[in-house]
Amino acid sequence: MRPRLHAWFLTFPAILQTRLRRLWLSGGPILQCAVAAGLAWWVASMVTGTNPAPFFAPIAAVVSLGLSLGKRWRRSVELVGGVVIGILVGDLLVRQIGSGTWQVVVVVALAMATAVFLDDGPLVPMQAASSATLVATLLPPGGTAGFSRAVDALIGGVIGLIVVAVFPVNPAHRARRDAAGVLTTMRDAAWRLADGLRNADEDEVFGALEDARATQGAITQMRADMGGGQEVSRISPLYWRSRERLERISETADPIDNAVRNFRVLSRRALSMVERGEQLSEEVIEIISDFGYAFDILRAMMMADPGDFPDQSDAAKVVRRIGRRAKRSLADEASMAETATVAQIRSIIVDMFMICGLKRTSALAQLR
């Protein structure tokens, strides 16, 4: 059934595929936000009874969760802290200077300054400013409305964290999927670069460079989801046993990022050589082509379940075979540009070994 659905999905226009994929990937966090908003409203209005219209409770729940898995605990703390700071500063000042245009300026400036002084989070000053503005314009100073808003914020933040703990998005799945997506792009870019070098096709080599450059957003998302996955594994009892596995997945973030960066440098060197009419040896081009297979086995490793093929050792065997061919003697009697290219290739192989779980010293030893 799934292959049929995938084939049907591929019949859609590219822009619609992108938007549907984005919606599908955000489905879990959207459901979490919706459930948290409803629960926060119910708890704030029916259980605590502090506010007959606790509109800020569901808002706080949604803001604390967001669509990103990362830093949800941090967002909840920042949200509640910002609201409390804004209410306290606004209430104290409005009692002394009253309400009006210039009073709003003073209240907002002091609330944001206080928030920045106490914390460097981006959410705290914004919430402090909005809460101080409410006190200076709508809420009566010294009343219970400001206190109720702070309670609502606390309820919303706590409910958001409870929803994450009870109905978590699979943290390992998103992290593995993000990493696999980057590695898939690099696989295709490696094959494209090798073809461009064989045919001295400047457009193909430039296209490979652009493909590698375009991964930066995906790498940023990968890092965020890996960090968010670790946070979920600490909050949710359902994933406490996955902490070690998520730690191993998160350890691949730096070497994947480094491999992409080194591949960009390799592509820029290759582009310069093609533009000057220089030719790389066929043996070096074959190694670049084999990078495609290495990135593919690393992609499969990221998506494989524990105990399935390929695991880290399986992927390391593939990288080791490429490493044996990328010997320093390739640079003997080569031009300066080709020597630099071989050095860059060896750097990428070190990054690949580290994606397989090797420490840097062990990865370097594989190339000696």
Gap between the Cα atoms of 318 and 313, Å rounded: 9
As a whole-number percent, the residues of the chain with pLDDT over 70 amount to: 94
Gap between the Cα atoms of 138 and 153, Å rounded: 18
Residue 297 is predicted with a pLDDT of 98
- Choose between 241 and 187: higher pLDDT: 187
DSSP letter string, 287-340: HHHHHHHHHHHHHHHHHSPTTSSS-HHHHHHHHHHHHHHS-GGGGTT--HHHHH
Q: In 10 A of CB 241, how many CB atoms?
A: 9
Label residue 1 by pLDDT band (50, 70, 90). Answer: very low
Pick 171-365's CATH classification: 3.40.47.10, 1.20.58.220, 3.40.50.300, 3.40.980.10.
Answer: 1.20.58.220
- Choose between 79 and 335: higher pLDDT: 335
- Residues 64-79 have a mean pLDDT of 73
Per mean pLDDT, which range of 7-16, 206-215, 221-230, 239-248 is the poorest?
A: 7-16
Dihedral sign from CA coordinates of 20, 25, 29, 31: positive
Residue 243 is predicted with a pLDDT of 87
Whether the predicted pLDDT of 175 surpasses 70: yes
Taking CA atoms, 195 is separated from 117, 263, 298, in Å, by: 55, 15, 21
Q: What are 280's two structure tokens?
A: 């790389």
- Non-local (6+) Cβ contacts of 56 within 8 A are 83, 149, 152, 153, 156
Whether the predicted pLDDT of 2 surpasses 60: no
In terms of average pLDDT, the best of 122-126, 295-299, 327-331 is 295-299
Whether the predicted pLDDT of 329 surpasses 50: yes
The tens digit of pLDDT for each residue in 277-318 reads: 998 999 999 999 999 999 999 999 999 998 899 999 999 999
The tens digit of pLDDT for each residue in 12-51 reads: 887 888 788 788 878 888 899 999 999 999 998 887 666 6
Per mean pLDDT, which range of 68-72, 122-126, 137-141, 340-344 is the poorest?
A: 68-72
Residue 105 is predicted with a pLDDT of 93
Exposed / middle / buried, residue 350 (Cβ in 10 Å: 0-12, 13-18, 19+): buried
Residue 67 is predicted with a pLDDT of 62
Taking all residues of the chain, what is their mean pLDDT, rounded to a whole number? 87
Residue in the structure block whose two tokens are 């966090």: 29
Q: What are 341's two structure tokens?
A: 């290219």
Residue 20 is predicted with a pLDDT of 86
- Residues 102-115 have a mean pLDDT of 92
DSSP letter string, 108-138: HHHHHHHHHHH---SHHHHHHHHHHHHHHHT
Gap between the Cα atoms of 113 and 91, Å rounded: 16
As a whole-number percent, the residues of the chain with pLDDT over 90 amount to: 48
Whether the predicted pLDDT of 52 surpasses 70: yes
The tens digit of pLDDT for each residue in 192-210 reads: 999 999 999 999 999 999 9
Whether the predicted pLDDT of 337 surpasses 80: yes
The tens digit of pLDDT for each residue in 129-147 reads: 888 888 788 766 666 666 7
- Residues 55-73 have a mean pLDDT of 76
CA 269, distance to chain mean position in Å, is 29
Label residue 189 by pLDDT band (50, 70, 90). Answer: very high
Residue ranges of the domains in the chain? 29-166, 171-365
Put simply, whether the predicted model's pTM sits higher than 0.85 gets the answer no
- Choose between 219 and 47: higher pLDDT: 219
